[in-house]
Amino acid sequence: LVVLAPGVSLLLAALGMIPVGRPTGIAVLLIGPVIACVWSSARRTAAVACWTVLLAVTAGVLRRLLGTPGFCLEFVVLVAGGALAVLNAARHTERKAALSRAAEVASASQSALLQPLSVEADGIEVCTRHHSPVRGASVCGDLYDVVQTPYGTRLIVGDVRGHGLDALRTTAAALRAFRDLAYLTPGLADLATAMDARLAPGLGSEDFVTAVFAEFAPGEVRLVNCGHPPPLRVGKRVKLLEPPQPALPLGLRTAPLPHRVYLQPGERLLFYTDGLSEARDGEGVEFPLLPRAAEALAQPSNSDALDALYAMAVAHTGRPLTDDVVLVLCRATGVTGAPLPARAREGISPAAGP
C-alpha cells in the first residue's frame, strides 16, 4: 500500500507523456491520493499528494503546457482534490483511534468486572478463568461471580446475548443485580426470577442473559439453569447436570425449576460458557467436552486443570478461540458450615444420585 498510491500516480504521469492521440490530463493523477486516503494515514496521504503535484509540474514542463488555461484548471483540481484526500485520511485516522480507545476502555472494564478468583469457603474451592477473544474482536458478555450469603455460598455463570458496549452494560447490570439479590432472596429459583424482573426493563426485544445459579450446602449443590449450558460433575465419571426441564434465559420471564445433586469431597463441578462447548475445528466439529474435561480435570490443581482444558480447546480449533470463554471450577473439600434454613430448601427437588 505504501508503494501502490505513488506508483499509480507515476504510471499515469508516464502514460500522459506518450504522444498518442490526446495526452492524458494531469487531474487523473488524483487517483494516487484517493487510494492513499482510504488505507493510509494523513501524513502518508499528504506525501502522495505532494508527489502527484511534483509529477504534474514535471509533466507540464516537459509537455510545455505550463500557463495554459487547461493545465491551470486541472492543476487547481489536482491540488484541491489532494487537500480533500488528506482531510479525509485525517478524519479516518481519528475515527479509528477513537474506536481503538473505546475498545481498550471496554476491554479494561470487562477485565475489572471479571477478576480471577481462587477462594475457599464453606468446604468449597472455587477457581475461575476468563479468556478474551483474539485481539481486535469486540467485547463479549460472559460473566461470573461468587458470594457468601446467609443461605450459603452462591455462584452465577452467565452469558449476555450480543457483543460490544451494550453487552458490557448488561453484564454489569446482571452482576450488580446478583450481588444485591443473592443476600436477600432465600430460594435459588426465586433469585433467578427476581433477577429476570430486574433485568427485563433494560433489555431490548431480542436481548437476554443465559445463566446457571449454584448454591452449595454440605454434601450437595442446588442448581437453577436458565437456558445456559449445563455444568459438569466430575468424580468417578463425568456427568452433565441437565435441569429437570428447560427454562428460558433471564429477561424472557423465566420460570426455572431448582434441582440438587450430591457433591462428595473431592468431586468437582465445572461451569463454562458456550465459547468452550461450541468451539469448532476447521471442519466444523465441536469440541468434545466430556472426554476432554475428564482428562484435564484429572490434574490435582484446579488452576492447572482449567489451563489444560482451555489449551485443549485451542488445540482442537487449531487457532485462538474467537469467542469469550469463562471457566469456573468448584471442588468439594469437606463438610463445613451449618445447613441452610428450611425456607431456603422450599421447592427443591430431591437430590440426584451419582
| pLDDT 10s digits, 108-130 | 545 545 566 666 777 888 999 88
Confidence of residue 319 (pLDDT cuts 50, 70, 90): confident
Give the three-state DSSP class for 1: coil
Locate 291 and state its grid cell: 472426554
At residue 42, the pLDDT reads 79
Worst-scoring range by mean pLDDT, 2-6, 30-34, 124-128, 348-352?
348-352
Rg (CA), the chain: 31
At residue 172, the pLDDT reads 85
Confidence of residue 293 (pLDDT cuts 50, 70, 90): very high
pLDDT surpasses 70 at 217: yes
At residue 122, the pLDDT reads 73
Give the three-state DSSP class for 165: helix
pTM listed for this prediction: 0.66
Quick one: average pLDDT of 227-237? 92
Higher pLDDT, 239 or 76: 239
| pLDDT 10s digits, 328-350 | 999 988 645 444 343 333 334 44
- Report the candidate in 194, 162, 167 with the shortest Cα–Cα distance to residue 180: 194
At residue 120, the pLDDT reads 75
Helices (H) and strands (E) in the chain, counts: 9, 12
Locate 66 and state its grid cell: 505550463
At residue 8, the pLDDT reads 53
Q: Which residues contact 319 (CB under 8 A, 6 or more apart)?
A: none
Worst-scoring range by mean pLDDT, 18-32, 66-80, 115-129, 328-342?
18-32
Distance separating alpha carbons of residues 193 and 173, to the nearest angstrom = 15
- Report the candidate in 122, 184, 112, 189 with the shortest Cα–Cα distance to residue 143: 112
- Say how many C-beta atoms besides its own lie within 10 A of residue 10's C-beta: 16
At residue 164, the pLDDT reads 63
pLDDT surpasses 90 at 89: no
- Say how many C-beta atoms besides its own lie within 10 A of residue 75's C-beta: 19
Quick one: average pLDDT of 204-230? 92
pLDDT surpasses 60 at 351: no
Topology (CATH) of 114-352: Phosphatase 2c; domain 1 (3.60.40)
Locate 202 and state its grid cell: 433494560
Q: Which residues contact 145 (CB under 8 A, 6 or more apart)?
A: 155, 156, 175, 178, 179
List the chain domain ranges. Answer: 4-105, 114-352
